[in-house]
Amino acid sequence: MPFTEVRVTRAGPIARLTLDRPQVLNALSPQLIDEALSAVREVAGSDARVLILNGAGASFSAGVDLKAASSPDYTREVARNHTGNARALCELLDTMPQATIAQVHGNCFTGGLEVAIACDFILAADDAVFCDSHGKLGLRPGWGLSQRLPRRIGVMRAKEMSLTGRRVSGREAATLGLVLEALPPEALAARVTELAETIAANNPGSVAAYKALYRGAQALGLDEGLAFEAAYRPPRRADAGPRRPLSDHLKTS
Encode pLDDT of 210-230 as tens digits. Answer: 998 888 877 667 778 778 778
The phi, psi pair for 197, rounded to 5°, reads -65, -35
In a domain, residue 102? The reply is yes
Q: In Å, what is the CA distance from 10 to each residue of 43, 167, 239? A: 10, 33, 53
Q: 244: pLDDT confidence band, cut at 50, 70 and 90?
A: low
In a domain, residue 247? The reply is no
In a domain, residue 129? The reply is yes
Q: 252: pLDDT confidence band, cut at 50, 70 and 90?
A: very low
3-class secondary structure, 20: coil
In a domain, residue 29? The reply is yes
Q: 242: pLDDT confidence band, cut at 50, 70 and 90?
A: low
Question: What separation, in Å, do the N-terminal and C-terminal C-alpha atoms of the chain show?
Answer: 35
Any residues with CB less than 8 A from the CB of 182 and at least 6 apart, and which?
123, 124, 125, 126, 128, 169, 170, 171, 173, 174
Q: 97: pLDDT confidence band, cut at 50, 70 and 90?
A: very high
Q: 235: pLDDT confidence band, cut at 50, 70 and 90?
A: low
Average pLDDT over residues 31-40: 98
Mean pLDDT of the residues in the chain: 91
Any residues with CB less than 8 A from the CB of 133 and at least 6 apart, and which?
63, 109, 110, 165
Quote the pLDDT of residue 227. Answer: 81
Contact 50, 16 (CB under 8 A): no
Any residues with CB less than 8 A from the CB of 21 and at least 6 apart, and which?
5, 27, 29, 32, 56
Quote the pLDDT of residue 243. Answer: 53
The phi, psi pair for 237, rounded to 5°, reads -90, 140
In a domain, residue 231? The reply is no
Quote the pLDDT of residue 50. Answer: 98
In a domain, residue 135? The reply is yes
Whether residue 118 has pLDDT greater than 80? yes
In a domain, residue 190? The reply is yes
Ranges of beta strands (E only) in the chain are 6-11, 14-19, 50-55, 99-104, 107-109, 121-125, 129-131, 168-169, 181-183
3-class secondary structure, 133: coil
3-class secondary structure, 57: coil
Q: Could you tell me which of 123, 86, 88 has the C-alpha nearest to residue 104?
A: 123
Quote the pLDDT of residue 253. Answer: 34
Average pLDDT over residues 233-237: 66
- How many CA atoms within 13 Å lie on the side-chain side of 24? 14
Whether residue 88 has pLDDT greater than 90? yes
| 104: CATH | 3.90.226.10
Q: 232: pLDDT confidence band, cut at 50, 70 and 90?
A: confident
Q: Which tens digit of pLDDT belongs to each residue from 154-198?
A: 999 999 999 999 999 999 999 999 999 999 999 999 999 999 999
Q: Could you tell me which of 90, 126, 134 has the C-alpha nearest to residue 109?
A: 134
Whether residue 245 has pLDDT greater than 70? no
Cα–Cα dist 158/150, whole Å: 5
Q: 1: pLDDT confidence band, cut at 50, 70 and 90?
A: low
In a domain, residue 235? The reply is no
Q: Which tens digit of pLDDT belongs to each residue from 4-25?
A: 999 999 999 999 999 999 999 9
Domain count, the chain: 1
Range of the domain at 91: 6-200
